Amino acid sequence: MIGSKEIKWLWFSLVFLLVLSCELEQTNYPPEPYIEFRELQVIDSGNVLGSARYFKIHYYLIDGDGDIGPIYRPGYIGNCYIELYHFQDTAYKLDVSILDTLRWLEIPYVGDLGQDKALKADIYINYGPFVGVQREYTNFFLTLTQFDMALNKSNTIYTDTIIFDK
Protein backbone atom coordinates (compact mmCIF):
# COMPACT_ATOMS: atom_id res chain seq x y z
CA MET A 1 0.00 0.00 0.00
CA ILE A 2 1.21 3.46 -0.84
CA GLY A 3 1.48 5.82 2.10
CA SER A 4 0.81 9.55 2.14
CA LYS A 5 4.56 10.26 1.99
CA GLU A 6 4.86 8.39 -1.30
CA ILE A 7 1.79 10.15 -2.74
CA LYS A 8 3.22 13.57 -1.86
CA TRP A 9 6.52 12.60 -3.48
CA LEU A 10 4.68 11.36 -6.59
CA TRP A 11 2.64 14.61 -6.86
CA PHE A 12 5.74 16.73 -6.33
CA SER A 13 7.58 14.78 -9.08
CA LEU A 14 4.66 15.16 -11.51
CA VAL A 15 4.37 18.92 -10.89
CA PHE A 16 8.15 19.33 -11.21
CA LEU A 17 8.17 17.46 -14.54
CA LEU A 18 5.22 19.50 -15.77
CA VAL A 19 7.01 22.78 -14.94
CA LEU A 20 10.16 21.59 -16.70
CA SER A 21 8.21 20.62 -19.79
CA CYS A 22 6.58 24.06 -20.06
CA GLU A 23 9.01 26.28 -21.89
CA LEU A 24 8.43 29.92 -22.71
CA GLU A 25 8.66 31.06 -26.32
CA GLN A 26 12.21 31.93 -27.30
CA THR A 27 12.52 35.52 -28.48
CA ASN A 28 16.24 35.61 -29.12
CA TYR A 29 16.12 37.25 -32.53
CA PRO A 30 19.30 38.76 -34.00
CA PRO A 31 19.70 42.57 -33.93
CA GLU A 32 19.61 42.72 -37.75
CA PRO A 33 16.14 43.20 -39.23
CA TYR A 34 14.63 40.27 -41.10
CA ILE A 35 11.94 40.87 -43.71
CA GLU A 36 9.59 38.63 -45.72
CA PHE A 37 7.67 39.71 -48.83
CA ARG A 38 3.91 39.25 -48.54
CA GLU A 39 2.12 41.12 -51.35
CA LEU A 40 2.43 43.75 -54.09
CA GLN A 41 -0.56 45.59 -55.53
CA VAL A 42 -0.44 47.92 -58.51
CA ILE A 43 -2.87 50.83 -58.46
CA ASP A 44 -3.44 52.91 -61.59
CA SER A 45 -5.10 56.23 -60.85
CA GLY A 46 -5.75 59.53 -62.52
CA ASN A 47 -5.50 63.07 -61.25
CA VAL A 48 -5.13 66.61 -62.64
CA LEU A 49 -1.59 65.79 -63.83
CA GLY A 50 -2.71 62.75 -65.79
CA SER A 51 -2.51 59.09 -64.95
CA ALA A 52 -0.13 57.72 -62.33
CA ARG A 53 0.83 54.30 -61.04
CA TYR A 54 1.22 53.48 -57.35
CA PHE A 55 2.49 50.33 -55.67
CA LYS A 56 1.18 49.02 -52.37
CA ILE A 57 3.88 46.83 -50.80
CA HIS A 58 3.18 44.54 -47.85
CA TYR A 59 6.03 42.84 -45.98
CA TYR A 60 6.64 41.30 -42.57
CA LEU A 61 9.43 42.61 -40.31
CA ILE A 62 11.23 41.13 -37.30
CA ASP A 63 13.91 43.14 -35.49
CA GLY A 64 15.53 41.60 -32.43
CA ASP A 65 16.26 44.84 -30.59
CA GLY A 66 13.27 46.81 -31.90
CA ASP A 67 15.26 49.83 -33.05
CA ILE A 68 13.45 50.57 -36.29
CA GLY A 69 13.17 54.32 -36.73
CA PRO A 70 14.69 57.42 -38.31
CA ILE A 71 18.41 57.34 -39.12
CA TYR A 72 20.14 60.64 -38.42
CA ARG A 73 23.43 60.04 -40.23
CA PRO A 74 24.88 61.44 -43.46
CA GLY A 75 24.05 59.40 -46.55
CA TYR A 76 20.73 58.09 -45.21
CA ILE A 77 17.51 59.77 -46.27
CA GLY A 78 15.32 57.02 -44.80
CA ASN A 79 15.53 53.52 -43.39
CA CYS A 80 13.81 51.53 -46.14
CA TYR A 81 15.59 51.30 -49.52
CA ILE A 82 13.57 50.37 -52.62
CA GLU A 83 14.72 49.83 -56.20
CA LEU A 84 12.67 49.25 -59.35
CA TYR A 85 13.94 46.87 -62.05
CA HIS A 86 12.34 46.81 -65.49
CA PHE A 87 12.76 44.46 -68.43
CA GLN A 88 14.70 46.07 -71.25
CA ASP A 89 16.05 44.26 -74.32
CA THR A 90 17.01 40.87 -72.84
CA ALA A 91 17.47 41.52 -69.10
CA TYR A 92 16.09 43.33 -66.07
CA LYS A 93 17.80 46.68 -65.44
CA LEU A 94 17.70 49.12 -62.55
CA ASP A 95 15.64 52.24 -63.19
CA VAL A 96 18.15 55.01 -62.45
CA SER A 97 15.66 57.79 -63.26
CA ILE A 98 13.92 57.41 -59.88
CA LEU A 99 14.93 60.15 -57.44
CA ASP A 100 16.55 59.29 -54.11
CA THR A 101 13.47 60.63 -52.32
CA LEU A 102 11.51 57.76 -53.88
CA ARG A 103 14.27 55.20 -53.26
CA TRP A 104 14.55 55.94 -49.52
CA LEU A 105 11.40 55.73 -47.41
CA GLU A 106 10.98 56.30 -43.68
CA ILE A 107 9.44 53.68 -41.39
CA PRO A 108 8.69 55.64 -38.17
CA TYR A 109 9.93 54.83 -34.67
CA VAL A 110 7.53 52.50 -32.87
CA GLY A 111 8.49 53.41 -29.30
CA ASP A 112 9.15 51.37 -26.17
CA LEU A 113 7.81 47.86 -26.54
CA GLY A 114 8.07 46.68 -22.93
CA GLN A 115 10.38 44.05 -21.54
CA ASP A 116 10.69 42.09 -24.79
CA LYS A 117 12.38 44.48 -27.23
CA ALA A 118 11.81 42.30 -30.30
CA LEU A 119 9.67 44.00 -32.92
CA LYS A 120 7.33 41.99 -35.16
CA ALA A 121 5.20 43.98 -37.57
CA ASP A 122 3.31 43.91 -40.85
CA ILE A 123 4.47 46.90 -42.89
CA TYR A 124 2.35 48.46 -45.64
CA ILE A 125 3.90 51.05 -47.96
CA ASN A 126 2.16 53.12 -50.61
CA TYR A 127 4.98 53.70 -53.06
CA GLY A 128 4.81 56.21 -55.90
CA PRO A 129 3.41 57.96 -57.89
CA PHE A 130 5.24 56.97 -61.02
CA VAL A 131 4.53 58.88 -64.20
CA GLY A 132 6.18 59.05 -67.59
CA VAL A 133 8.81 56.39 -68.29
CA GLN A 134 7.78 54.07 -65.46
CA ARG A 135 4.21 54.01 -66.81
CA GLU A 136 5.52 52.45 -70.02
CA TYR A 137 7.15 49.44 -68.35
CA THR A 138 5.44 46.17 -69.12
CA ASN A 139 7.62 43.86 -66.94
CA PHE A 140 9.10 44.99 -63.64
CA PHE A 141 9.74 44.08 -60.01
CA LEU A 142 10.89 45.86 -56.85
CA THR A 143 13.59 45.05 -54.30
CA LEU A 144 13.46 46.25 -50.71
CA THR A 145 16.03 46.41 -47.89
CA GLN A 146 15.33 47.60 -44.33
CA PHE A 147 17.84 49.33 -42.04
CA ASP A 148 17.54 49.86 -38.30
CA MET A 149 18.81 52.82 -36.25
CA ALA A 150 22.14 51.06 -35.61
CA LEU A 151 22.57 50.72 -39.41
CA ASN A 152 22.05 46.95 -39.31
CA LYS A 153 20.96 45.89 -42.79
CA SER A 154 18.23 43.34 -43.40
CA ASN A 155 18.05 40.74 -46.10
CA THR A 156 16.83 41.97 -49.49
CA ILE A 157 13.40 40.87 -50.63
CA TYR A 158 12.12 40.74 -54.19
CA THR A 159 8.50 41.36 -55.09
CA ASP A 160 6.59 39.35 -57.62
CA THR A 161 7.20 40.31 -61.23
CA ILE A 162 4.40 42.45 -62.62
CA ILE A 163 3.58 42.00 -66.31
CA PHE A 164 1.29 44.36 -68.22
CA ASP A 165 -0.03 43.85 -71.73
CA LYS A 166 0.56 46.75 -74.08
DSSP, residue by residue, 25-80? PP----SS-EEEEEEEEEEEEEETTEEEEEEEEEEEEEETT---S---STT-S-SE
> 23 in a domain, yes or no?
no
Please count the structural domains in the chain.
1
> 103 in a domain, yes or no?
yes
| 20, pLDDT greater than 80 | no
Rounded to an integer, what distance in angstroms lies between the CA atom of residue 133 and that of residue 73? 32
Domain that holds residue 130: 34-163
> 156 in a domain, yes or no?
yes
pLDDT per residue as tens digits for the range 2-16: 556 666 665 555 555
Task: Pick the closest to residue 60 from 43, 39, 79 (CA basis).
Answer: 39
The predicted model scores a pTM of: 0.75
> 25 in a domain, yes or no?
no
Instruction: Quote the pLDDT of residue 145.
Output: 96
State mean pLDDT over 128-139.
Answer: 71
Q: What percent of the chain has pLDDT over 70?
A: 72
> 14 in a domain, yes or no?
no
State mean pLDDT over 95-121.
Answer: 79
> 90 in a domain, yes or no?
yes
Instruction: Quote the pLDDT of residue 79.
Output: 92
Instruction: Quote the pLDDT of residue 134.
Output: 63
The chain-wide mean pLDDT, for the chain, equals 80
> 3 in a domain, yes or no?
no
**Is-contact 148 63, C-beta < 8 A?**
yes
> 26 in a domain, yes or no?
no
